[in-house]
Amino acid sequence: MKKSFLLDKSKEIILGSLLGDGSLRIHKDYKNARFSFRHSVRQKDYFFWKVSQLRDISGKKCYWESKDKDGFGGKKLRFQSVATEQLTDLYNLVCKKGKFRVQRKWLNLLTQLSLAIWWMDDGSIIGNGRKGVFCTESFSYEEQKILARYLKVVWKIKVHIGKIKRVWNGKEKTYYRLWIRSSEELKKFLRIILPQLEIESMLQKFLILYKDINLQQRWISEVVQLTGFKKSVVEKYLEIKKSKYKQFQKMI
């Protein structure tokens, strides 16, 4: 039997995905862990790019399309790896008593690519296109503090932990998210991860909006320089993004 292996790039992608849409699990009757993730069919370009980067842990039938069962509707694309010892090693690193935990000891292994995956999975530009948020509500408040400190100490990015309230099964519950509250901090973060972007359709996750034409052109130029995408491609996705914001619709 051919020995399995895990490329460094796959490890970077997996670790970033674990903060977003990915998971590592040891299924019943299996000795080793599998890595899996899912995305909406609207993000198929991103999904298949990610699959193409994980060939070292992919079987012949590693992805499929399914109907969403969590109440949000729509179809999902799902990936599941083969079970390997190397994935089990990662599972033991990031899980405590069988449950995934955010811990500094493995956050220190994250790279620029890992951060880019986390952002593309669960990050968004908000606040009229000038602020950012990570959808981290599945993590505890203590885990959010670990993440916030990690981003500040290692990457010099200042984030804030903010409350959100949601009604679940008739009861209001409090969750937490990480927020980037200024365009300057957002730009600092995006400059770190933009060189990792290879999927055109994900550009909207990286495009900060400005009413000032000069400021907008400067950011377009930075995106072009850091990604290698043509200016016309960046401008195309900028116009698509602007169409979603009322204050920019008259400017298109």
What is the pTM assigned to this prediction?
0.92
Both tokens assigned to 73: 């509707």
Number of DSSP helices (H) and strands (E) in the chain, helices first:
10, 10
The label of the residue with tokens 């505890």 reads: 140
Mark the ranges of the chain whose per-residue pLDDT is less than 70. 1-5, 68-73, 246-252
pLDDT at 1: 35
User: What is the dotted CATH code of the domain comprising 113-249?
Assistant: 3.10.28.10
Model confidence over 34-51: pLDDT tens digits?
A: 999 999 999 999 999 999
User: What is the dotted CATH code of the domain comprising 8-99?
Assistant: 3.10.28.10
Instruction: State how far the Cα of 182 lies from the Cα of 158, in Å rounded to an integer.
Output: 9
**Identical fold, 8-99 and 113-249:** yes
Parse the chain into domains and list their residue ranges: 8-99, 113-249
pLDDT at 69: 61
In contact, 191 and 223? CB cutoff 8 Å: no
pLDDT at 252: 38
pLDDT at 26: 95
Instruction: State how far the Cα of 203 lies from the Cα of 158, in Å rounded to an integer.
Output: 23
Q: What is the DSSP string of 147-201?
A: HHHHHHHHH----EEEEEEEEETTEEEEEEEEEE-SHHHHHHHHHHHGGG---GG
Please, what's the b/e burial string for 4-26 (b: 16 or more CB within 10 A of its CB; e: otherwise)? Answer: eebeeebbbbbbbbbbbbbbbbb
